[in-house]
Amino acid sequence: MARYKHIDTSPRFIAVDLERQLLPGTFEHALNHLVDHELDLSGFDARYRNDQTGATAWPPAMLLKVVLFAYSQGIVSSRGIERAGTDHITFIALSGDSAPHYTTIAAFVSGVGDDIAKLFAQVLYLCDRQGLIGREMFAIDGVKLPANASKAKSGTRSDFERQAAKLEAAAKHMLTRHRANDALPTEPGHDEKAQRRIARLQGDAAQLRDWLAAHPEDRKGAKGSIRKSNRTDNESAKMATSKGVIQGYTGVAAVDDRHQIIVAAQAHGTGSEQELLLPVIQATESLRTHQTLVTADAGYHSEANIAALAEQQIPALVADTGMRKRDERFKEQDKYKALPDPLYDKAHPKKGAKHYRPKDFDYDPAAGTCLCPDLLPACRTK
Protein backbone atom coordinates (compact mmCIF):
# COMPACT_ATOMS: atom_id res chain seq x y z
CA MET A 1 0.00 0.00 0.00
CA ALA A 2 1.37 3.42 -0.94
CA ARG A 3 2.61 5.66 1.87
CA TYR A 4 2.24 9.46 1.84
CA LYS A 5 3.61 12.29 3.90
CA HIS A 6 1.27 13.58 6.61
CA ILE A 7 -0.33 16.97 5.82
CA ASP A 8 -0.64 18.96 9.04
CA THR A 9 -3.23 21.77 8.93
CA SER A 10 -3.17 22.60 12.64
CA PRO A 11 -2.62 26.24 13.74
CA ARG A 12 0.95 27.53 13.90
CA PHE A 13 2.94 30.74 14.05
CA ILE A 14 4.43 31.66 10.67
CA ALA A 15 6.31 34.79 9.63
CA VAL A 16 4.15 36.27 6.84
CA ASP A 17 4.71 39.29 4.58
CA LEU A 18 1.16 40.64 4.49
CA GLU A 19 1.67 42.73 1.36
CA ARG A 20 2.69 39.64 -0.63
CA GLN A 21 -0.57 37.90 0.25
CA LEU A 22 -2.35 40.26 -2.17
CA LEU A 23 -1.45 38.48 -5.40
CA PRO A 24 -1.37 40.57 -8.61
CA GLY A 25 -4.34 39.88 -10.84
CA THR A 26 -6.75 39.28 -7.98
CA PHE A 27 -9.64 41.47 -6.90
CA GLU A 28 -8.08 42.22 -3.51
CA HIS A 29 -4.82 43.39 -5.16
CA ALA A 30 -6.72 45.74 -7.48
CA LEU A 31 -8.87 46.98 -4.57
CA ASN A 32 -5.82 47.71 -2.43
CA HIS A 33 -4.09 49.63 -5.25
CA LEU A 34 -7.15 51.66 -6.28
CA VAL A 35 -8.04 52.76 -2.76
CA ASP A 36 -4.45 53.79 -1.98
CA HIS A 37 -3.52 55.47 -5.27
CA GLU A 38 -6.57 56.28 -7.40
CA LEU A 39 -9.55 57.22 -5.23
CA ASP A 40 -10.01 60.63 -3.61
CA LEU A 41 -10.92 60.03 0.04
CA SER A 42 -10.71 63.65 1.20
CA GLY A 43 -14.45 63.61 1.84
CA PHE A 44 -13.91 60.98 4.54
CA ASP A 45 -11.07 62.99 6.10
CA ALA A 46 -13.40 65.96 6.57
CA ARG A 47 -15.55 63.91 8.94
CA TYR A 48 -12.86 63.87 11.63
CA ARG A 49 -11.96 66.71 14.00
CA ASN A 50 -8.96 65.22 15.84
CA ASP A 51 -6.16 67.24 14.26
CA GLN A 52 -4.96 68.67 17.59
CA THR A 53 -6.91 66.82 20.28
CA GLY A 54 -8.75 63.55 20.59
CA ALA A 55 -7.85 59.94 19.97
CA THR A 56 -6.53 58.73 16.64
CA ALA A 57 -9.09 57.16 14.28
CA TRP A 58 -8.98 54.11 12.07
CA PRO A 59 -7.99 55.12 8.50
CA PRO A 60 -11.09 55.26 6.27
CA ALA A 61 -9.05 53.68 3.46
CA MET A 62 -8.45 50.55 5.54
CA LEU A 63 -12.09 50.25 6.60
CA LEU A 64 -13.20 50.78 3.01
CA LYS A 65 -10.92 48.00 1.73
CA VAL A 66 -12.18 45.55 4.35
CA VAL A 67 -15.87 46.35 3.81
CA LEU A 68 -15.72 46.22 0.00
CA PHE A 69 -13.79 42.97 -0.01
CA ALA A 70 -16.25 41.50 2.48
CA TYR A 71 -19.13 42.45 0.19
CA SER A 72 -17.40 40.72 -2.72
CA GLN A 73 -17.27 37.54 -0.60
CA GLY A 74 -20.94 37.75 0.41
CA ILE A 75 -20.25 38.93 3.98
CA VAL A 76 -22.70 41.73 4.79
CA SER A 77 -22.63 41.95 8.60
CA SER A 78 -20.22 43.86 10.83
CA ARG A 79 -19.72 40.87 13.14
CA GLY A 80 -18.96 38.64 10.16
CA ILE A 81 -16.39 41.15 8.90
CA GLU A 82 -14.78 41.29 12.35
CA ARG A 83 -14.44 37.48 12.44
CA ALA A 84 -12.94 37.43 8.96
CA GLY A 85 -10.49 40.13 10.03
CA THR A 86 -9.00 37.80 12.63
CA ASP A 87 -9.23 34.45 10.77
CA HIS A 88 -8.79 35.14 7.04
CA ILE A 89 -5.33 36.02 5.74
CA THR A 90 -6.62 38.26 2.95
CA PHE A 91 -8.65 40.37 5.38
CA ILE A 92 -5.65 40.48 7.72
CA ALA A 93 -3.46 41.69 4.83
CA LEU A 94 -5.93 44.39 3.74
CA SER A 95 -6.35 45.68 7.30
CA GLY A 96 -2.67 45.40 8.22
CA ASP A 97 -3.62 42.98 11.01
CA SER A 98 -5.47 45.78 12.80
CA ALA A 99 -8.63 43.69 13.46
CA PRO A 100 -11.17 46.54 13.83
CA HIS A 101 -14.06 45.87 16.22
CA TYR A 102 -17.50 45.26 14.72
CA THR A 103 -18.84 48.45 16.33
CA THR A 104 -16.17 50.43 14.45
CA ILE A 105 -17.17 48.79 11.18
CA ALA A 106 -20.89 49.36 11.85
CA ALA A 107 -20.32 53.04 12.70
CA PHE A 108 -18.29 53.51 9.52
CA VAL A 109 -20.91 51.87 7.26
CA SER A 110 -23.83 53.76 8.82
CA GLY A 111 -22.05 57.11 8.76
CA VAL A 112 -20.54 57.27 5.27
CA GLY A 113 -23.63 59.02 3.87
CA ASP A 114 -23.19 60.81 0.55
CA ASP A 115 -19.43 60.23 0.53
CA ILE A 116 -19.91 56.65 -0.64
CA ALA A 117 -21.98 57.82 -3.64
CA LYS A 118 -19.14 60.11 -4.74
CA LEU A 119 -16.74 57.22 -4.29
CA PHE A 120 -18.72 54.94 -6.57
CA ALA A 121 -18.79 57.72 -9.15
CA GLN A 122 -14.99 57.68 -9.09
CA VAL A 123 -15.00 53.89 -9.50
CA LEU A 124 -17.27 54.24 -12.52
CA TYR A 125 -14.87 56.80 -13.99
CA LEU A 126 -11.96 54.39 -13.52
CA CYS A 127 -13.91 51.59 -15.21
CA ASP A 128 -14.61 53.88 -18.15
CA ARG A 129 -10.96 54.91 -18.34
CA GLN A 130 -9.97 51.24 -18.55
CA GLY A 131 -12.39 50.64 -21.44
CA LEU A 132 -14.76 48.43 -19.44
CA ILE A 133 -17.88 50.38 -20.49
CA GLY A 134 -18.84 49.72 -24.11
CA ARG A 135 -21.84 52.12 -24.35
CA GLU A 136 -23.46 49.86 -26.94
CA MET A 137 -26.35 48.63 -24.78
CA PHE A 138 -27.61 49.40 -21.29
CA ALA A 139 -29.98 46.79 -19.82
CA ILE A 140 -32.38 47.95 -17.10
CA ASP A 141 -33.99 45.69 -14.53
CA GLY A 142 -34.92 45.78 -10.86
CA VAL A 143 -35.86 43.84 -7.77
CA LYS A 144 -38.12 44.51 -4.79
CA LEU A 145 -36.25 44.64 -1.48
CA PRO A 146 -37.74 44.61 2.05
CA ALA A 147 -37.11 47.62 4.27
CA ASN A 148 -36.60 47.75 8.02
CA ALA A 149 -40.15 49.04 8.45
CA SER A 150 -43.46 47.69 9.75
CA LYS A 151 -46.32 47.03 7.33
CA ALA A 152 -48.76 47.62 10.18
CA LYS A 153 -47.72 51.28 10.32
CA SER A 154 -48.67 52.01 6.70
CA GLY A 155 -51.70 54.03 5.67
CA THR A 156 -53.01 57.40 4.56
CA ARG A 157 -53.48 60.42 6.80
CA SER A 158 -57.18 59.61 7.18
CA ASP A 159 -56.25 56.06 8.29
CA PHE A 160 -53.87 57.42 10.93
CA GLU A 161 -56.45 59.95 12.13
CA ARG A 162 -59.00 57.17 12.63
CA GLN A 163 -56.41 55.08 14.50
CA ALA A 164 -55.53 58.02 16.76
CA ALA A 165 -59.22 58.66 17.48
CA LYS A 166 -59.77 54.99 18.42
CA LEU A 167 -56.74 54.97 20.72
CA GLU A 168 -57.84 58.19 22.42
CA ALA A 169 -61.39 56.87 22.86
CA ALA A 170 -60.12 53.59 24.34
CA ALA A 171 -57.80 55.43 26.72
CA LYS A 172 -60.61 57.78 27.78
CA HIS A 173 -62.97 54.87 28.44
CA MET A 174 -60.41 53.02 30.57
CA LEU A 175 -59.55 56.21 32.45
CA THR A 176 -63.23 56.84 33.22
CA ARG A 177 -63.64 53.30 34.54
CA HIS A 178 -60.48 53.69 36.63
CA ARG A 179 -61.80 56.88 38.22
CA ALA A 180 -65.17 55.22 38.89
CA ASN A 181 -63.41 52.42 40.75
CA ASP A 182 -61.46 54.97 42.79
CA ALA A 183 -64.75 56.61 43.87
CA LEU A 184 -66.13 53.39 45.37
CA PRO A 185 -66.14 53.13 49.21
CA THR A 186 -64.20 49.90 48.99
CA GLU A 187 -61.07 49.88 46.86
CA PRO A 188 -61.34 46.91 44.42
CA GLY A 189 -57.56 46.59 44.20
CA HIS A 190 -54.75 48.23 42.28
CA ASP A 191 -54.93 47.43 38.61
CA GLU A 192 -51.40 48.29 37.53
CA LYS A 193 -51.89 46.45 34.25
CA ALA A 194 -54.82 48.72 33.34
CA GLN A 195 -52.77 51.79 34.22
CA ARG A 196 -49.93 50.66 31.99
CA ARG A 197 -52.37 50.01 29.17
CA ILE A 198 -53.85 53.49 29.52
CA ALA A 199 -50.39 55.02 29.37
CA ARG A 200 -49.52 52.93 26.32
CA LEU A 201 -52.72 53.91 24.49
CA GLN A 202 -52.18 57.57 25.27
CA GLY A 203 -48.56 57.33 24.14
CA ASP A 204 -49.47 55.65 20.85
CA ALA A 205 -52.15 58.25 20.18
CA ALA A 206 -49.68 61.06 20.92
CA GLN A 207 -47.15 59.54 18.51
CA LEU A 208 -49.80 59.40 15.79
CA ARG A 209 -50.79 63.03 16.39
CA ASP A 210 -47.14 64.14 16.30
CA TRP A 211 -46.58 62.26 13.04
CA LEU A 212 -49.69 63.81 11.47
CA ALA A 213 -48.51 67.28 12.54
CA ALA A 214 -45.08 66.67 11.00
CA HIS A 215 -46.58 65.34 7.74
CA PRO A 216 -49.49 67.64 6.80
CA GLU A 217 -50.04 66.05 3.36
CA ASP A 218 -50.42 62.57 1.92
CA ARG A 219 -47.77 61.14 -0.40
CA LYS A 220 -48.65 61.57 -4.05
CA GLY A 221 -48.63 58.52 -6.31
CA ALA A 222 -48.87 58.07 -10.05
CA LYS A 223 -51.66 59.90 -11.88
CA GLY A 224 -52.63 61.95 -8.84
CA SER A 225 -53.42 58.96 -6.62
CA ILE A 226 -52.61 58.82 -2.90
CA ARG A 227 -49.72 56.59 -1.89
CA LYS A 228 -49.74 55.10 1.60
CA SER A 229 -47.28 56.57 4.06
CA ASN A 230 -45.31 54.61 6.65
CA ARG A 231 -44.59 55.95 10.11
CA THR A 232 -41.45 53.81 10.47
CA ASP A 233 -39.86 54.62 7.09
CA ASN A 234 -41.93 57.08 5.08
CA GLU A 235 -39.80 56.70 1.96
CA SER A 236 -40.63 52.99 1.67
CA ALA A 237 -43.84 51.60 0.19
CA LYS A 238 -46.07 48.56 0.53
CA MET A 239 -45.70 46.39 -2.57
CA ALA A 240 -46.77 42.95 -3.78
CA THR A 241 -44.17 40.30 -4.56
CA SER A 242 -44.24 36.61 -5.48
CA LYS A 243 -43.74 35.84 -1.77
CA GLY A 244 -46.44 38.16 -0.45
CA VAL A 245 -46.76 41.85 0.39
CA ILE A 246 -43.66 43.57 1.78
CA GLN A 247 -42.83 47.04 3.03
CA GLY A 248 -39.76 48.08 1.10
CA TYR A 249 -38.15 49.55 -1.98
CA THR A 250 -37.76 48.75 -5.64
CA GLY A 251 -34.07 48.67 -6.50
CA VAL A 252 -33.34 49.26 -10.18
CA ALA A 253 -30.00 49.19 -12.03
CA ALA A 254 -28.68 49.85 -15.53
CA VAL A 255 -25.89 47.50 -16.64
CA ASP A 256 -23.51 47.87 -19.58
CA ASP A 257 -23.44 44.76 -21.77
CA ARG A 258 -19.67 44.59 -22.41
CA HIS A 259 -18.43 43.65 -18.92
CA GLN A 260 -21.65 43.89 -16.88
CA ILE A 261 -20.56 47.11 -15.18
CA ILE A 262 -23.40 48.74 -13.24
CA VAL A 263 -23.56 52.28 -14.60
CA ALA A 264 -26.54 53.46 -12.52
CA ALA A 265 -28.38 52.16 -9.46
CA GLN A 266 -31.32 53.64 -7.58
CA ALA A 267 -33.87 52.67 -4.93
CA HIS A 268 -37.43 54.03 -4.95
CA GLY A 269 -40.33 53.65 -2.57
CA THR A 270 -42.80 52.44 -5.16
CA GLY A 271 -43.85 49.07 -6.52
CA SER A 272 -44.49 50.40 -10.02
CA GLU A 273 -41.52 49.80 -12.31
CA GLN A 274 -43.08 52.03 -14.99
CA GLU A 275 -42.25 55.10 -12.90
CA LEU A 276 -38.56 54.16 -12.69
CA LEU A 277 -37.58 53.79 -16.35
CA LEU A 278 -37.05 57.48 -17.16
CA PRO A 279 -35.19 58.36 -13.90
CA VAL A 280 -32.67 55.55 -14.51
CA ILE A 281 -32.18 56.53 -18.15
CA GLN A 282 -31.66 60.13 -17.07
CA ALA A 283 -28.98 58.97 -14.59
CA THR A 284 -27.02 57.38 -17.47
CA GLU A 285 -27.12 60.50 -19.64
CA SER A 286 -23.41 61.29 -19.17
CA LEU A 287 -22.42 57.80 -20.33
CA ARG A 288 -24.86 57.25 -23.18
CA THR A 289 -24.23 58.11 -26.82
CA HIS A 290 -26.75 58.61 -29.61
CA GLN A 291 -26.26 54.96 -30.58
CA THR A 292 -26.56 53.48 -27.07
CA LEU A 293 -29.50 51.05 -27.00
CA VAL A 294 -31.59 50.86 -23.83
CA THR A 295 -33.44 47.60 -23.11
CA ALA A 296 -36.05 46.79 -20.45
CA ASP A 297 -38.68 44.15 -19.81
CA ALA A 298 -42.46 44.46 -19.91
CA GLY A 299 -42.66 45.82 -16.37
CA TYR A 300 -41.29 49.17 -17.58
CA HIS A 301 -43.62 49.49 -20.59
CA SER A 302 -46.22 52.23 -20.73
CA GLU A 303 -47.47 54.56 -23.43
CA ALA A 304 -46.09 57.56 -21.53
CA ASN A 305 -42.60 56.00 -21.33
CA ILE A 306 -42.57 55.09 -25.02
CA ALA A 307 -43.70 58.59 -25.98
CA ALA A 308 -40.98 60.16 -23.78
CA LEU A 309 -38.28 57.93 -25.30
CA ALA A 310 -39.43 58.83 -28.80
CA GLU A 311 -39.49 62.55 -27.96
CA GLN A 312 -35.94 62.41 -26.56
CA GLN A 313 -34.80 60.23 -29.52
CA ILE A 314 -33.37 57.53 -27.25
CA PRO A 315 -33.00 54.13 -29.00
CA ALA A 316 -34.81 51.63 -26.81
CA LEU A 317 -36.35 48.16 -26.85
CA VAL A 318 -39.05 47.87 -24.18
CA ALA A 319 -41.15 44.72 -24.27
CA ASP A 320 -44.91 44.98 -23.84
CA THR A 321 -47.15 42.50 -22.05
CA GLY A 322 -48.33 40.86 -25.29
CA MET A 323 -44.89 40.42 -26.85
CA ARG A 324 -44.57 36.69 -26.15
CA LYS A 325 -48.03 35.95 -27.53
CA ARG A 326 -47.11 37.53 -30.87
CA ASP A 327 -43.60 36.10 -31.16
CA GLU A 328 -43.48 32.78 -33.06
CA ARG A 329 -40.45 31.71 -31.04
CA PHE A 330 -42.64 31.41 -27.93
CA LYS A 331 -45.59 29.57 -29.49
CA GLU A 332 -44.70 26.34 -27.65
CA GLN A 333 -43.94 27.96 -24.28
CA ASP A 334 -47.05 26.48 -22.63
CA LYS A 335 -45.61 22.96 -22.69
CA TYR A 336 -42.80 24.08 -20.34
CA LYS A 337 -45.15 25.33 -17.65
CA ALA A 338 -45.25 23.16 -14.53
CA LEU A 339 -48.55 21.42 -13.90
CA PRO A 340 -50.27 22.15 -10.57
CA ASP A 341 -49.56 19.69 -7.79
CA PRO A 342 -52.80 17.73 -7.17
CA LEU A 343 -51.84 17.27 -3.50
CA TYR A 344 -51.76 20.99 -2.81
CA ASP A 345 -53.98 22.54 -5.47
CA LYS A 346 -57.40 22.54 -3.78
CA ALA A 347 -59.05 24.87 -6.25
CA HIS A 348 -61.81 23.40 -8.37
CA PRO A 349 -61.01 23.32 -12.08
CA LYS A 350 -62.68 26.14 -13.92
CA LYS A 351 -65.20 25.13 -16.53
CA GLY A 352 -64.76 27.01 -19.75
CA ALA A 353 -67.77 28.79 -21.17
CA LYS A 354 -69.37 27.08 -24.17
CA HIS A 355 -69.60 29.32 -27.20
CA TYR A 356 -71.74 28.56 -30.22
CA ARG A 357 -70.67 29.39 -33.75
CA PRO A 358 -73.04 30.60 -36.51
CA LYS A 359 -73.19 27.12 -38.04
CA ASP A 360 -74.65 25.72 -34.80
CA PHE A 361 -77.87 27.76 -35.16
CA ASP A 362 -80.88 26.72 -37.29
CA TYR A 363 -82.53 29.43 -39.34
CA ASP A 364 -86.35 29.51 -39.44
CA PRO A 365 -87.31 31.22 -42.74
CA ALA A 366 -90.97 31.46 -41.78
CA ALA A 367 -90.33 33.36 -38.56
CA GLY A 368 -87.14 35.01 -39.80
CA THR A 369 -85.27 34.03 -36.61
CA CYS A 370 -82.51 31.65 -35.55
CA LEU A 371 -83.07 28.85 -33.08
CA CYS A 372 -80.61 28.39 -30.21
CA PRO A 373 -78.97 24.92 -30.12
CA ASP A 374 -80.05 24.49 -26.48
CA LEU A 375 -83.71 24.92 -27.50
CA LEU A 376 -83.65 22.80 -30.63
CA PRO A 377 -84.64 19.45 -28.97
CA ALA A 378 -87.68 21.05 -27.30
CA CYS A 379 -88.76 22.75 -30.54
CA ARG A 380 -88.51 19.52 -32.50
CA THR A 381 -90.72 17.60 -30.00
CA LYS A 382 -93.43 20.17 -30.45
64-117 pLDDT per residue, tens: 999 999 999 999 899 999 999 999 999 999 999 999 999 999 999 988 877 887
Does residue 100 lie in a domain region?
Answer: yes
d(CA 141, CA 351): 37
Instruction: Read off the pLDDT of residues 125-147 as tens digits, 9 standing for 90 and up.
Output: 888 888 899 999 999 999 998 88
pLDDT in tens, 319-373: 998 888 888 888 887 777 776 666 655 566 666 666 788 888 888 888 888 877 7
Q: Do the domain assignments include residue 5?
A: no
Q: Are residues 54 and 110 in the same domain?
A: yes
Q: What's the pTM?
A: 0.67
Total domains present in the chain: 3
For residue range 193-204, list pLDDT tens digits in order: 777 778 888 888
CA dist., res. 42 & res. 44, Å (int): 5
- Asked whether residue 152 is domain-assigned, the answer is no
**The pLDDT value given to residue 347:** 61
Final residue of a structural domain among 326, 355, 373 = 326
Indicate if 203 and 171 belong to the same structural domain: yes
Provide the pLDDT for residue 382.
Answer: 47
Does any domain span residue 338? no
pLDDT score recorded for residue 70: 94
Residues 242 and 213 in one domain: no
Are the CB atoms for 270 and 289 separated by under 8 Å? Answer: no
Q: What is the pLDDT of residue 351?
A: 64
For residue 302, what are the domain limits? 237-326
* Residue ending a domain, choose from 279, 309, 326: 326
Percent residues over pLDDT 90 in the chain: 36
Residue 195 included in any domain: yes
Same domain, 241 and 184: no
